[in-house]
Chain A
Amino acid sequence: MFPRPIQSQSAAAQATYCAMLPLALILWLAPLIAVAVFSIKPDVDFSSGNYWGMPSTFAGAENYGKVFFESDMPRYLMNSVLITVPTVIGAVALSCMTGFALGVYKFRGNLWIFFMFVAGNFVPFQILMVPVRDLTLNMGLYNTKLGLVLFHVAFQTGFCTLFMRNFIRALPFELIEAARVEGVAEWRIFWFVVLPLMKPAIAALSVLIFTFIWNDYFWAVVLTQGAESQPVTAGITSFNAQYRAAYHLMSAGSIVAALPPVAMFFLMQRHFIAGLTLGAVK
């Protein structure tokens, strides 16, 4: 245990530590707390210059009501869901198979294919931008959710394969050997032996990819435009243009846009952190 457990130190040190924790947290999250406070302030507070005082009245319901009922926000949110969920399913499904192939079989080129996925996952988006935009245009998928989903699935397969392959490598190989001795067909080994053991990896990857895709902005701007297909990250800029200088509404909108991955994180925290920190421990 490092640093030395606080319990083994003086009572004064313990009290100081416990007092410092909330203080440090408030400082750390200050920019965010400010936005949260903004989002429940009424309009008049901003025109009267009451930026940092207490809200004169609680206007949270009104502000968030406007976001949900008088703007395109619900459409953007819906688009985000329709882009994110299929991507998660597609990328996880593909990488279960690629991860299985690279983790279980020994064949020539195994490591090369693996490294192709790893390297591809690290390339800058800009090197793909023009050709992928062109490809999407030519397939008639520009400005559609499907166009965005297809690209996201392909790109995320890189990271997911890295993850799945390393996870499968750590499974007990004897299980697969035993199944082979029994004469079980390879695809049945995949489906009935390995897949059930991969549940924790599937859960971890799903939350991670959900967050990555929900928060994507670059590809949303490159491959879509307009409220019919843009996800919420891109939509928030049009939302802000619509409510220019209406800080209470812009704050409420930002919080709504940020919320789904946050909720996902708090609900699936254990999986999320397991996913992010895979490999951080030997």
Chain B
Amino acid sequence: MTDTAPPSIAARRLNGQALAPWLFLAPGVLFFLFYVVFPIFQSFNLSFYRWDGLGAAEFVGFGNYRELMTDRAFEVSMWNNLKWLVLYLLAIPAGLFIALFLNQTVAGIRIYKSLFFFPFVISQVVVGLVFTWFYDPTFGLLNTMLGWVGAGPINVLGDPTLATYGIIAAGLWPQIAYCMILYLTGLNAVDPEQVEAARLDGAKGWRMLWYVIVPQLRPATFIAFVVTIIGALRSFDLISIMTNGGPFGSTRVLSFYMFEKALSEYGFRMGYGAAIAVVLFLIMLVFIGYFLWTMWRQERGR
């Protein structure tokens, strides 16, 4: 700072620097509070009411939550959410292996990388449609291919035990592509000297991958983990498009069940829907807490 400036100007500048961040923040923060932060609290509040979206809301205390405890459909949704969470994480190793496969420099490799990434850019609605036809029992590509080896036909989306897995497989397709691109970027930054040194020490194959490469990919793995967990818990589009929760409600997850209850054609149950949303939010909060904690440690480390 200049010592020659008179104190009044210095004070004004200091003032400017104290006020400026708040002026820059105001529009974004207010907008965000209005549309994102307050609605979260409103949903919490609403979950203690019975409300059809039109008339007066009636306070029912923990009534909605008590009802959830004995709701079979809620239980099915919870289990399906768990399946989504666990199976969706397969996108991380799968993405890593495709990235390793493509991490070469041959002619045209850039085009291959882009085309492998392709499924992520397409909307989930279209992915859902594409996979619905892929699974179609009469003409779908899957059953045509199964026919070549003498198996099938199977009606993936019509079978309550298979349908959820069928939808998760469709969801994995773009998610693997996303993880792949994260790892391709990560692999670019792997230190070649360390790899050479490890090679001289006789490391190769799996051991090299596990002890030398994977530790260096940690930042990519962290992001892949975050986006995959969020993606798994947000799954809605695919279910809505592919099975609409069926057959017999077997593919519902919390996010879908909530939507169904709150805006169902058999009358709106906003309070009950809000209670489901609160449960989903609390599950997500565990992960959000973990992410923020990790970020906070990184900030400290700077």
Interface residues of chain A, those whose CB is within 8 Å of chain B, are 1-3, 5-7, 14, 17-18, 21, 24-25, 28-32, 34-35, 38, 49, 51-52, 94-95, 97-98, 100-102, 104-105, 107, 110-111, 113, 115-120, 122-132, 134-135, 150-151, 153-155, 157-158, 161, 180-181, 183, 185-187, 190, 211, 214-215, 217-218, 221-222, 233, 236-237, 240, 247, 250-251, 254, 257-258, 261-262, 264-266, 269, 273, 276-277, 279-282
Contacts and interface: CB of A to CB of B under 8 A. Distances in A.
Nearest to A265: B121
17 contacts: A25-B116, A32-B122, A94-B28, A101-B25, A105-B21, A110-B21, A115-B295, A118-B292, A130-B46, A131-B39, A131-B46, A155-B35, A180-B1, A181-B1, A233-B123, A262-B118, A281-B188
Contacts of A135: 35, 39
A161 B144 CA distance: 48
Contacts of B115: 25, 29
B83 interface: no
B220 A118 contact: no
A158 B36 contact: yes
Contacts of B223: 277, 279-280
Contacts of B116: 25, 28
A44 B270 CA distance: 47
A127 B40 contact: yes
A8 B144 CA distance: 40
B32 A128 contact: no
A127 B139 contact: no
Interface of B: 1-2, 5, 9, 13, 16-18, 20-22, 24-25, 27-29, 31-32, 34-40, 42-43, 46, 53, 100-101, 103-106, 109, 112, 114-119, 121-126, 129-131, 133-134, 139, 141, 144, 173, 178, 181-183, 185-190, 192, 195, 208-209, 212-213, 219-220, 223, 230, 233-234, 236-237, 240-241, 254-255, 258-259, 262-263, 270, 273-274, 276-278, 280-281, 284, 287-288, 291-292, 295-296, 299
B192 A123 contact: no
B24 A2 contact: no
Given A118-B295, A127-B40, A281 B186 contact: yes
Which applies to chain B's interface (DSSP): helix, strand, loop or mixed?
A: helix
Nearest to B123: A215
Nearest to A24: B101
A250 B267 CA distance: 31
Given A211-B121, A266-B114, A273-B181, A31 B39 contact: no
A151 B32 CA distance: 9
Nearest to B230: A122
Given A3-B100, A118-B292, A153-B31, A257 B123 contact: yes
Given A120-B36, A211-B121, A247-B133, A98 B259 contact: no
